[in-house]
Amino acid sequence: MTDVTTPGTPVSAAQLEREADITRRVLESFDGCADPRLRQVLQSLVRHLHAFVREVRLTEREWDTGIEFLTRTGHITDERRQEFILLSDVLGASMQTVAVNNEAYGDATEATVFGPFFVENSPEIAQGGDLSFGAAGQPCWVEGTVTDTAGKPVPGARIEVWEADEDGFYDTQYGDERVAARAHLFTDAEGRYRFWGLTPTPYPIPHDGPVGGLLEATGRSPMRASHLHFMVSAPALRTLVTHIFVSGDELLDSDSVFGVRESLVKDFHEQPPGTPAPDGRDLGDRSWSRVRFDIVLAPGGS
Ligand code: BEZ
Ligand code: FE
């Protein structure tokens, strides 16, 4: 192991040896683990954790602060709020895990973080249907195709879509029973889809808990770049969890959970009031937007 110490904190060779000996003994304590993967993960975790403690020369007061932070993170977590995932998100660990598990395959669409606001059993909408169900926001016509990496259309692919309303809230954050700004639909025989959603707007991740405190203490913003969530699945293809982002959004470079991929930034074309809608919908005097998102699924899955 490389011994790195904070500049200005001289550490004797004997001390370094004492520290390395502790690490060695903890690593050896897992040598008898019957599950090789569990052994690998835990020994690697110990190696990195000890290297961190030694590199920053962690003080006992800092250790206390860390334990207290994690305790508060646990206390605020329940079946509705998952502060540990939020912590993983703002440390980029969620996005790094997504990257490790979604190695680029040909021109398959890139994945990004799942986020905490997906809900099972969303309402089904028909092609051209509207997922807003009364949620506030500018109407947005979304259309595209689902193909495999050979360019073959995927009929019957299930597309789950969910997003925040123009006030920056998902339906689940209102604390009532509403279901809005979420739905699923299926691609048609040519692998095409189209629906009405809402033009995405920026919103903060929940920041009234310990993770919000961490962001504030470090001068970081809780804001997420504007986005629309997708989860797309089809037999024998890898399920894709992703978003599309709005080109020109000033938050693209500072997304609080590091979810932005260049390939997922799309042009949302603004349509002035009176512009005829693609499906003949009467939008009165409202402006609307439109975006195209062609989805390519990698091989794999069940
Ligand atoms: C979201 O996209 O909704 C989200 C993602 C990560 C953390 C919090 C929110
Ligand atoms: Fe989101």
Distance 139 CA to ligand 2 centre (A): 17
Report the atom number in ligand 1 closest to the C-alpha of 85. 7
Q: Which ligand is nearest to the CA of 181?
A: 2
- Quick check: 302 pLDDT over 60? no
Q: Which ligand is nearest to the CA of 228?
A: 2
- At 97 the three-state DSSP class reads helix
Q: Which ligand is nearest to the CA of 206?
A: 1
Encoded amino acid at 216, one letter: E
Q: Output the pLDDT for position 242.
A: 97
Encoded amino acid at 168, one letter: G
Which residues have C-beta under 5 Å from ligand 2, the single-atom ion? 115
**Helical packing angle, 83-90 and 210-217, nearest 10°:** 20
Report CA-CA distances (Å) from 250 to 105, 226, 253, 255, 267.
29, 9, 7, 10, 14
Q: Give 5's pLDDT tier (boundaries 50, 70, 90).
A: low
> Tens digit of pLDDT for each residue in 235-244?
999 999 999 9
> Tens digit of pLDDT for each residue in 174-221?
888 899 999 999 999 999 999 999 999 999 999 999 999 999 999 999
Identify the residue whose C-alpha is closest to ligand 1 atom 6.
115
> Ligand 1: residues whose CB is within 6 Å?
86, 89, 113, 115-117, 205, 224, 257
> With the CA atoms of 212, 217, 218 and 219 taken in that order, what torsion angle do they form, in degrees rounded to the nearest 10?
80
**Helical packing angle, 36-56 and 13-29, nearest 10°:** 160
Cα separation, 225 vs 247, in Å, equals 10
- Cβ atoms of 196 and 128 within 8 Å: the answer is yes
Based on its alpha-carbon atoms, the radius of gyration of the chain, rounded to whole angstroms, reads: 23
φ, ψ of residue 197 to 5 degrees: the values are -125, -155
> Tens digit of pLDDT for each residue in 92-132?
999 999 999 988 888 999 999 999 899 999 999 999 999 99
Distance 116 CA to ligand 1 centre (A): 6
Identify the residue whose C-alpha is closest to ligand 1 atom 3.
115
Identify the residue whose C-alpha is closest to ligand 1 atom 7.
115
Q: Which ligand is nearest to the CA of 117?
A: 1
End-to-end alpha carbon distance in the chain: 41
CA atoms within 13 A on the CB side of 191: 16
Joined together, the tokens standing for residue 68 give: 């207290």
Q: Give 65's pLDDT tier (boundaries 50, 70, 90).
A: very high
Identify the residue whose C-alpha is closest to ligand 1 atom 8.
205
Whether the full predicted model's pTM is greater than 0.85, yes or no, is yes
Distance 88 CA to ligand 2 centre (A): 15
- Cβ atoms of 27 and 43 within 8 Å: the answer is yes
Q: Give 9's pLDDT tier (boundaries 50, 70, 90).
A: low
Cα separation, 126 vs 190, in Å, equals 15
Distance 212 CA to ligand 2 centre (A): 16
Cα separation, 186 vs 126, in Å, equals 8
Rounded mean pLDDT, 30-44: 98
